[in-house]
């Protein structure tokens, strides 16, 4: 039976969505897994999003808490807001109280990926503060550590991501994930799939 991996994200300007797509490619490269992309619900009115210059949402399905319970492992992605996950993703996590009450997510592996505007904008704090959500659900955090190899030590060029997970910098919104950042995202998907299979006992 295939291991179900859900990649769940919120993306206002497309940066996190791009990472999610690449993570899915990496996860799909592992035999015996079934990978699906999901978005969390938007909480801002269309009028506000329009004034913020946000593009239309993609046709990736919107997840509900009951959908989340079906996954064997999850990868959660979001942009940062003042060093923490965006409110839209936090609102979704706040809606999972029923799953917490029944401990339906306990023992399941979970990873994190993210986007920030700048190098000091929360590449580590966004992931670090998000771990509290996993802890209260009894989930098992799976970081990538330094398994990405030499790419983790790149200092000549600006690179998002950290041992916590894949990441990118959005800058003023025009900067897009680099090949190295996308490579790290692919690696995270592949690496996480392998770990999820071990948890499921199918590796």
CB 96 within 8 A of CB 137: yes
On the question of pLDDT at 158 being above 90, the answer is no
Percent of the chain with pLDDT over 70: 99
The CATH number of residue 169's host domain is: 3.40.50.360
The whole model's pTM is what? 0.95
Q: Which position has the higher pLDDT, 50 or 4?
A: 4
Residues forming beta bridges with residue 155, ordered by sequence position: none
Residue with tokens 């300007």: 13
Element (H, E) at 127: helix 125-137
Q: Please compute the mean of the pLDDT values over residues 43-62 and round it to a whole number.
A: 91
**pLDDT in the model for residue 100:** 97
Q: How many domains does the chain have?
A: 1
Q: Which domain holds residue 127?
A: 3-200
CB 184 within 8 A of CB 161: yes
Q: Please compute the mean of the pLDDT values over residues 3-20 and round it to a whole number.
A: 96
* Tens digits of residue pLDDT in 121-136: 889 999 999 999 999 9
> How far is the C-alpha of 93 from the C-alpha of 9, rounded, in Å?
11
> How far is the C-alpha of 98 from the C-alpha of 101, rounded, in Å?
5
> How far is the C-alpha of 194 from the C-alpha of 109, rounded, in Å?
11
**pLDDT in the model for residue 122:** 85
Strands 109-116 and 140-141, by their bridges, are parallel
Number of Cβ within 10 Å of residue 198's Cβ equals 12
């Amino acid at each position: 039976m295939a291991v179900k991996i859900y990649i769940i994200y919120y993306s206002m300007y497309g940066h996190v969505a791009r990472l999610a797509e690449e993570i899915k490619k990496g996860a799909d490269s592992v035999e015996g897994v079934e990978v699906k992309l999901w978005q969390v619900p938007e909480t801002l009115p269309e009028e506000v999003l329009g004034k913020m210059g946000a593009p239309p949402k993609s046709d990736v399905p919107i997840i509900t808490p009951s959908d989340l319970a079906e996954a064997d492992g999850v990868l959660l992605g979001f942009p940062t807001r003042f060093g923490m996950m965006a409110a839209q993703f936090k609102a979704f996590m706040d809606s999972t109280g029923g799953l917490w009450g029944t401990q339906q997510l306990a023992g399941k592996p979970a990873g994190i990926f993210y986007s920030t505007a700048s190098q000091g904008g929360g590449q580590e704090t966004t992931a670090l503060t998000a771990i509290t959500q996993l802890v209260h659900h009894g989930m098992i955090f799976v970081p990538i550590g330094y398994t990405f190899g030499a790419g983790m030590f790149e200092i000549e060029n600006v690179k998002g991501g950290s041992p916590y997970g894949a990441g990118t910098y959005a800058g003023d919104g025009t900067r897009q994930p680099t090949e190295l950042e996308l490579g790290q995202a692919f690696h995270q998907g592949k690496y996480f799939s392998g770990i999820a299979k071990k948890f499921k006992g199918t590796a």
